[in-house]
Structure 1
Amino acid sequence: MRTRLLILIVFIGFWVNAHEIKNLKCENQINPSGITNARPHFSWTFVPGGNSTEQGGYRIMMATSIEKLQYPDIWDTGPTSTSETGPFEYCGEPLKSGQRIYWMVTAWGNNRGVTHSEPAWFEMVEIENPETPFKPHVFDQEQGVVKIALNGDDKGRVFEGIGGVSAGASTDLLYDYEDPTRSQILDFLFKPKFGAGFQHLKVEMGGGENSTCGSEPSHAITREELQHPVSRGYEFWLMKEAKNRNPDMILEYLPWSFPAYLKPNIFNKESAEYFVTFLDVAKKQWQLDIDWVAAAENENYTNRDWLVNDVRPLLNARGYENVKIQGPDDNSGDWKIFNEFENDKAFDDVVEAVGYHYVTGREFNENMVDGRGRPTTDKAKNTGKPLWASEDWSWTGKDWGGAGALNLARMYNKFYIRDRITKTLIWAPIGSIYETVTWDKAGAMKANSPWSGYYEVWPTIWATAHTTQFAEPHNWRYLDDACGLFDSDTYKGSAVALKETNGTDWSLILCTENKEEVEIKIAENLSNGKINIWKSNKEEQFIGQEPIYPKNGTIRLSLDAQSIYSLTTTSGQQKGSYEIPDKTSFPFPYKEGYEDRKVGDLPKYHSDQTGSFEIALKEDGTQCLKQIVPEQGYDWMRVYRRSNIKPNTLIGDATWKNYTCSVDVFIEGGDVEIGGRVTGSYLKGYRFQVTKEGDWKMLFDQETLQNGSIANFDPKMWHKLQLKFNGKAIEAFVDGQRVMKTSYQEKNGYVMLASSYDGNRFDNLEIIP
């Protein structure tokens, strides 16, 4: 058992702290064997240790075996941010008499650090008041032929769209592309009936702290700016470009981190003002009407009183009555918010759609679609409130199999068949971040070479097109009796049907695991004209097939295995294409004087990992780069992961090894750094740091290699810092004078500029052999 537990600890992938979890109890008993309650309760003891005085969050995992605790097949709460240790009621699918279930708890301290319990177990005997498990609709078959009946009078929920989440700095480098390639990429993402045709775009409301693959700037970094919010970064631009291509684009926003002045309570009147001023920037500076606000903190739930008493009234008072609230946008909870709605009409009225993340789980392989995840509850479905998978998938769109394109198409179908979810948003619509940075391979397509204009259109773009090019949000609805599985044991083979709400056109999206013979009966109240067919498989995607015509309202098709098909009575679908430029390496040697963009804009080819770096004016009227976040903000996932320490931005090529990098600096306060051979986030690489007082350090990651002081250092002057790498030899210079030489590990990586939380400035960046 100990060996298996160690495997689980490696899987979870956090560092271990000194606190402890013990006394795991089910119905207040340790490893009980006579549980009759269909919804047992669970608790444990958290023993403080290290820097943590109390629990900061927990995750409960339950499975049919110890091995399956890695991807729980019974229940997984996901990470939750609370100091409570139970008792918590079981919220998974109905348990069975005679089951032995294994469970364990992962807990985070309130000062980071993680601990994992030993596995525990409990056994069910004859259950009192057993519950009936959900069973998906399975199509009838006759002599091996799947029978699907389409009827326009069939009931079904309104289709709300397929979208993407631009957040966590995942769209960073797209902004640096030049037209026409930048416009081409945007067409693949947002142009209807051309590529993916994403119908909903949710963006990050940046807070200046790392939010996954980097940081995004805030529209109000200080309390003073809250009175005069500023358009920063690329998310407003991206929304505008999406809207230009599709005037019906649905827009939404959500924060990950928050500026320091909103600490420690991010759910108050001032934070409501912070949320609403984002709408002001969108409306007044970009002429954008945003449809939804996810009034929460990403994956950290929300606050009922804040929504009811602050956010909704302020939205109404400022003229945003039509902006709707979606929540809780959480990564855990089994749709528990519906329990709160039951006896709270005001809360129920304020939240107009409910979204949860990773509804199908995080088992990124070919069996992901059959993972339990966080299925919607009967209570959630019965309310009739819109249900969303408000962030899901998070994988590389390059793959067809595994967790890739075919799996995603299957998930789109599954979410309606199982969960009655009518909108799915994936992270990320595009991967536009440097290689080796966290989650650098995620995205439906790839564009991370703006200097060459090269990009890649991956199969996931076309897997998404199989839904988005065949149904429009709000104008189409599902036909429930034509939404189901080919085999009751798996969601890998499925079909969903939709029809035009005020018309007779229809579409049918089918995903296969095995070869299938399908007979489709079309009622007279639906179009019986020409049916266009589009097909995707591993070899080629989104290929138009020969149209077919019904005979006596019936068609019959032979479907290939592991394929996606879309049948429709509509027209105009296409597989868009452009000539893509050749890929080239980052320009080397490289010089950057920060003169080619406007003041306040993002610098070209830089990737902020923490903090915010933007173009600023110098005293002589020329331009430079400035770090503008004055104080460490409210860090996203502050309980679950380590901080990125200080503002820093990357530039260059992950393969660079032997080079000299230099930059001019003006130190307003604290310290600045130039780094080299940096491999990604978390300041991993060589860092030459100089303080305002003239003290210096050479660091490798967090290890100090050498340190000293610079004689007669003038803090009121600009200074030139330089690092030289040649094999294992490393040299550092200040104003042309060498202050350090050492020999250490030979590595490769980016150039990095870093700063304390001060308005420090940089200019004349140069990278040469």
Structure 2
Amino acid sequence: MVLNRKCRGGFLDIFTNTTTVLYVWLFSLTLGHAHVYIVDDYEGLGRRFDGIGGLSGGGATSKLLVNYAEPQRSQILDYLFKPQFAASLQILKVEIGGDSQSTDGTESSHMHESWDENYQRGYEWWLMREAKKRNPDIKLYGLPWTFPGWLGGKTANPYSNPYRTADYIVRWVLGARTHYGLSIDYIGIWNERAYNTKYIKVLRASLDKNNLSNVTVVAADGSWGISGDILKDQTLAQAVGVIGVHYPGTVTTNASLQTNKTLWSSEDYSTFNDNVGAGCWGRILNQNYVNGFMTSTISWNLIASYYNALPFGRDGLMTAVQPWSGHYVVESPIWVTAHTSQFTKTGWHYLPHGHGVGALQGGGSYVSWLCPQRRHFTMVLETMSHNHSLCIRPALPGYNVQPQRATFSLKGSMRNITKLHVWYSKLGFKDAETVLFKELNPIQVENGVFSIDLAVDTIHTLTTWTKGQKGSYPTPPPPAPFTLPYKDDFESYAEFNEAFNFAPQVGVWEVRRTNDRHHGNVNRQVILHQPCDWCTNRIPINIGGNYKWTNLLQQIDVFVPSVNGTDGVFLAQHVSRGGCSSDKAKGIFFFIFPDSRAFVLSTDPSIITIIIIVTLCP
């Protein structure tokens, strides 16, 4: 019996005689009727793999990381970016700061005003350089959540003048290259807000005009809706390189597939980073391709490095919230990431569905890759149960997973593999033990066939790659409360830096020089006009420390300039919340209004509930 199937370079025999067929059939019987999965590249390859990523921003999610002392700061960065060490991330996505609240804080724009271009602001430049220092091949992706007010003018709409907004984004890309030697690979439109097809086309043209044709446009960092517009508009189709969606639930749409565009889950996960969060991450890393043909999945967020009282606490791949103590935690999603990222590279290809990619018969999924030369092969299998892999969104339909034995038959370019290295994780729940990224004995492959027993809530990586490593450093310092007394006179910072341990929620604070003989540097709120917001707060507020402090004495020197000065300032304690609802916070707010010579004590920043008002006599 001879079956011929066409492949690249000619024809290959799948089965050359009845003896081979009989062997495969008898082998499956000896394994207790284990299902046999065919793995081959006879019919070509699947889509190009674009990498696993993490997202810093959206907003200010890496704020506390910056002021960790060494060696802890470098250790954290190694866990995130160093190849063959831990997460070994392949994409770093960052917020293009726009001077407004974008989830956990504000990030500073490189242009507060049209005449104010400055690339010393913010910390995403630093983070991108640190990532590139560790992995020169990492891809960089920028996306705005908000825009400075001058771009929207009276409309508060950044698309009101698409040429001006496109120029603003192009300047950010050029600034990255000119000031930091960073080449941006991908650029987005506007995070989870309406897209504008004219703006997308203008942005593409502006990038090309500035010799940035290498920068790929990702659209539109929201839903699949742009797919229909791409199908109807050839110019738009030429402008968009990647369709990026958020929280797709591992599924795509017919329209998006019809575009023949690269498909990404350009923001996903956003789940508390315990073992359930790790199960969520492991499931979607595989199933975003199995079910949705998405070739990249990017975690919001990269690292939970913002105060715990802010929204979405610990929704990162790891946790670093105590720069004052040096304590950090390498959470289980880091090692789930490593199962794929340490044994693949961007530019590898998935195998076709049904030939190395698919659902496991007993529940779960498997995904396979080949390197471009087809010399290295990697497969990741996950068996995450429903209740142990729930993501924050969207809702997950019910399904069952059971222990199973899976048998794989390697053919084509993989037919001569005789051994596969094995890395294993088992997520434990209740009193069960958790095993993370443990190297097991290799699997021997006989005549292209091997079997593996799969328990529930496990991840296995099977690979010809020999360079995996569970990297480690000495145990970091123990956690400790925010140290009191605490004082900062801002004299140690370079101008335009952000002060450590402060987390602006509305407005932007920068260290600025003054001519005041008592205060050389000050921490100044610099935004004069309402930005094009992602969430609409109007009351500038900058938080720090611990909102649970009691019996606290605070002291601050405040200067209100005569030009562009505010009408009042406040000092607060026990502030209950930040983020997009910071204007609804409760606490103790002490206001000073210099011009009216008044003092107000309120329980909220909007002065809705007033405890007392005192007006001084002239």
- TM-score category (smaller protein): 0.7 to 0.9
Alignment partners' CA distance in 2, 1:342 and 1:270: 27
AA paired with 1:390? S
Q: Given that residues 145 and 534 in structure 2 are in contact (C-alpha distance below 8 angstroms), is that contact kept between their aligned partners in structure 1?
A: yes
* Aligned match of 1:58: none
How many residue pairs end up in the alignment?
Answer: 542
Pick the aligned partner of 1:493 from 364, 369, 373. 364
Task: Please give the alpha-carbon distance, in whole angstroms, between the structure 1 residues aligned to 2:103 and 2:465.
Answer: 40
Give how far 1:482 is off.
Answer: 1.5
Aligned to 1:696: 599
Query: Does residue 1:507 correspond to 2:372, yes or no?
Result: no
Instruction: Deviation per CA, 1:678-733: give whole Å up to 9, x if none.
Output: 12211431111112313221111142211123456xxxxxxxxxxxxxxxxxxxxx
Q: Is the 8 A contact 1:231 1:281 kept in 2?
A: no
Offset of residue 161 of structure 1: 0.6
Q: Do the aligned residues in 1 keep the contact of 2:419 with 2:442 (CA within 8 Å)?
A: yes
Q: Distance in 1 between matches of 2:360 and 2:199?
A: 46
1:239 partnered with 2:144: no
SS in 2 for 1:252: strand
Tell whether 2:575 aligns with 1:678.
yes
1:318 corresponds to 2:210: yes
Among 162, 177, 182, which residue is 2:68 paired with? 177
CA–CA separation in structure 2 for the residues paired with 1:271 and 1:695: 42
Aligned pair partner of 1:572 in 467, 489, 493? 467
- Contact 1:406-1:564 within 8 A present in 2 as well: no
1:269 matched to which residue of 2?
Answer: 163
Give the superposition deviation at 1:143.
4.5
**Residues 1:163 and 2:53 aligned together:** yes
The alignment status of 1:482 with 2:356, answered yes or no, reads yes
Residue equivalent to 1:77: none
Residue equivalent to 1:655: 548
- Aligned-residue CA RMSD in angstroms? 1.8
Structure-2 separation of matches of 1:671 and 1:443: 37
Is 1:432 matched up with 2:305? Answer: yes
User: 1:466 aligned to 2:339?
Assistant: yes
Q: How far apart in 1 are the matches of 2:586 and 2:266?
A: 32
- The whole-number CA distance in structure 2 between the counterparts of 1:518 and 1:313 is 50
Return the alpha-carbon distance in structure 2 between the equivalents of residues 600 and 684 of structure 1: 30
* Offset from partner CA, 1:605-658 (integer Å, 9 cap, x none): 111111111111121372121111112211104xxxxx3332211111233111
Which structure 2 residues correspond to residues 367-516 of structure 1 after superposition, within 5 A? Answer: 375-397=251-273, 399-401=274-276, 404-480=277-353, 481-487=355-361, 493-512=364-383, 513-516=401-404
Q: Contact conserved, 1:667 with 1:691, CA < 8 A, in 2?
A: no
Asked if structure 2 preserves the Cα contact closer than 8 Å seen for 1:477 and 1:500, the reply is: no
Q: Check whether the contact 1:524–1:553 (CA below 8 A) recurs between aligned residues.
A: no
Name the counterpart of 1:707. 613
Aligned-partner residue type, residue 356 of structure 1: V
Q: How many Å separate the matches in 1 of 2:481 and 2:80? A: 25
1:625 to 516, 520, 523: 523
1:524 Cα deviation after fit: 5.1
Whether the 8 Å CA contact 1:529–1:569 is kept in 2: the answer is no
CA separation in 2, counterparts of 1:582 and 1:710?
Answer: 49
CA distance in 1, matches of 2:465, 2:52: 18
**Counterpart among 567, 581, 594 of residue 477 in structure 2:** 581
Following superposition of structure 1 onto structure 2, how do residues 152-231 of structure 1 map, counting pairs within 5 Å? 152-153=41-42, 154-167=44-57, 168-225=59-116, 228-231=117-120
Q: Secondary structure at the match of 1:472?
A: coil
2:485 & 2:227 partners in 1: Cα distance?
58
Query: How big is the shift at 1:465?
Result: 1.0
Percent of pairs identical after alignment? Answer: 32
1:306 aligns with 2:199: yes
Q: Does 1:548 align with 2:443?
A: yes
1:518 aligns with 2:406: yes
* Greater strand share, structure number: 1
Deviations 1:504-537 (A, max 9, x none): 2111100124211111212252251431100001
2:376 and 2:33 map into 1 onto residues whose CA distance is 28
Q: Distance in 2 between matches of 1:710 and 1:600?
A: 36
Measured in 1, the distance between the counterparts of 2:180 and 2:617 equals 50
| TM-superposition CA deviations, 1:420-470 (whole Å, max 9, x none) | 110111101110010111112211110010011100011111111111111
* Higher relative contact order, chain-length normalized (CA < 8 Å, sep 6+): 2
Aligned 8 A contact 2:309 2:576 in 1: yes
How far the C-alpha of 1:477 sits from its partner, in A, is 3.1
2:35–2:361: 8 Å Cα contact kept in structure 1?
A: no
> Counterparts of 1:232 and 1:558 in 2: how far apart (Å)?
52
* 1:350 maps to 2:239: yes
- SS state at 2:444 partner: coil
Is the CA contact 1:152–1:504 (under 8 Å) kept in the aligned structure 2?
no
CA contact (8 A) 2:269 2:280 kept: no
The alignment partner of 1:678 has SS state of coil
Normalising to structure 1: TM-score of the pair? 0.68
> Is contact 1:499–1:506 with CA below 8 Å preserved after alignment?
yes
Q: Distance in 1 between matches of 2:52 and 2:301?
A: 12
Counterpart amino acid of residue 375 in structure 2: T
Q: State the match for 1:110 in structure 2.
A: none
Gaps of at least 5 residues in structure 2 are 1-27, 384-400, 428-433
Contact 1:686–1:699, Cα closer than 8 Å, also in 2 = yes
Partner of 2:220: 328
Contact 1:213 1:440 in 2 (8 A): no
Paired AA for residue 246 in structure 2: H
Distance 2:574 2:227 in 1: 50
CA displacement, residues 391-414 of structure 1 (integer Å, 9 cap, x when unaligned): 1110112x213xx11221111111
- Equivalent residue for 2:148? 259
Q: Specify every segment of 5 or more residues in structure 1 that has no aligned partner in the other structure, as ranges.
A: 1-139, 361-372, 638-642, 713-769
CA 1:304/1:524 → structure 2, altered by over 3 Å: closer, same or farther?
Answer: closer
Distance verdict in 2 for CA 1:585–1:657, change over 3 Å: same
8 A contact 1:435–1:654 mirrored in 2: no
The answer to whether the Cα contact below 8 Å between 1:479 and 1:499 also exists between their aligned partners in 2 is: no
Aligned partner (choices 496, 499, 505) of residue 603 of structure 1? 499
Instruction: Render the CA deviation track for 1:552-607: whole Å, top value 9, x for unaligned.
Output: 12112112221110000011111111121211111111111112221111101111
The aligned amino acid for 1:262 is: L
Q: Which residue of 2 aligns with 1:47?
A: none
Aligned 1:723-762 pairs, distance under 5 A? none
* Mapped partners of 1:707, 1:279: distance in 2: 50
User: Is residue 509 of structure 2 the alignment partner of residue 613 of structure 1?
Assistant: yes
Aligned AA (1:184): Q
Task: Please state whether the residue corresponding to 1:663 is helix, strand or coil.
Answer: coil
Amino acid at match of 1:275: I
Residue number in structure 2 paired with 1:751:
none
When normalised by structure 2's length, the TM-score is 0.85
CA distance in 2, matches of 1:220, 1:251: 21
Aligned amino acid, residue 405 of structure 2: E
470-479 vs 527-536, which moves further: 470-479
Q: Which amino acid aligns with 1:497?
A: S
Match of 2:489 in 1: 593
What amino acid is the match of 1:647?
Answer: P
Find the aligned partners of 1:478 and 1:628 in 2 and give their Cα distance: 52
- Shift in CA distance, 341/561, structure 1 to aligned 2, threshold 3 Å: same
